[in-house]
Amino acid sequence: MSSTSSIRVRFAPSPTGMFHVGGARSALFNWVMAAQSGGTLVLRIEDTDTSRNSPEWTEGIIRAMAWLGMDGGQYEGPYFQSANADKHAAAARTLIEAGRAYYCDCVRDDVIARTGDQHKGYDGFCRDRGLEPGPGRALRFRTPDRGHTTVIDLLRGKPVFENAVLEDFVLARADGSVTFLLANAVDDMSQGITHVVRGEEHLSNAPKQQLLWEALGGEPPVWAHVPVIVNEKRQKLSKRRDKVALEDYQAEGYLAAAMRNYLMLLGWAPSGDREIVPWEVIVDEFRIEDVNTSPAFFDEKKLRSFNGEYIRALPVEEFAAACLPFLESAPFEADPAVFDQLAPLAHTRVAVLAEIVPMVDFVFLDEPPFDEQSWNKGMKGPAAEILAAAEEAYRDAPWETAELKDRLEQVGVAHGLKLGKTQAPVRVAVTGRTVGLPLFESLEILGRERTLARIAAARAKLAAASPAS
Which of 385, 386, 387, 330 has its CA nearest to residue 361? 330
> Is the Cβ–Cβ distance between 362 and 431 less than 8 Å?
yes
CA separation, residue 271 to residues 53, 282, 285 (Å): 41, 10, 8
Q: Could you count the other beta carbons within 10 Å of the beta carbon of residue 71?
A: 14
Read off the amino acid at residue 156. Answer: R
Residues of the chain with pLDDT under 50: 1-4, 469
Helices (H), 415-447: 419-431, 439-446
pLDDT digits (tens, 9 = 90+) for 180-236: 999 999 999 999 999 999 999 999 999 999 999 999 999 999 999 999 999 999 999
- Express as a percent the part of the chain with pLDDT over 70: 99
Q: CA separation (Å) from 385 to 233, 430, 439?
A: 49, 16, 19
What is the four-CA torsion angle of 252, 255, 260, 262, rounded to 10 degrees? -70
In the predicted model, what is the mean pLDDT of the chain? 95
Helix axes 85-97, 180-190, angle to 10 degrees: 100
- 8 A C-beta contact, residue 298 and residue 229: yes
pLDDT at position 4, please?
Answer: 41
Active site residue 243: no
User: DSSP H helical segments within 140-179, as ranges?
Assistant: none
Choose, from 239, 377, 421, 461, the residue flagged as catalytic: 239
pLDDT at 5: 62
Half-sphere CA count of 183, side-chain side, radius 13 A: 22
* Residue-wise pLDDT tens digits, 362-421: 999 999 999 999 999 999 999 999 999 999 999 999 999 999 999 999 999 999 999 999
d(CA 292, CA 412): 56
C-alpha distances out from residue 107 to 125, 138, 172, Å: 11, 10, 14
- The alpha carbon of 206 is separated from its chain's Cα centroid by a whole number of angstroms, namely 26
- Domain boundaries of the chain, sorted by first residue: 314-362, 372-465
What CATH architecture applies to the domain 372-465?
Orthogonal Bundle (1.10)
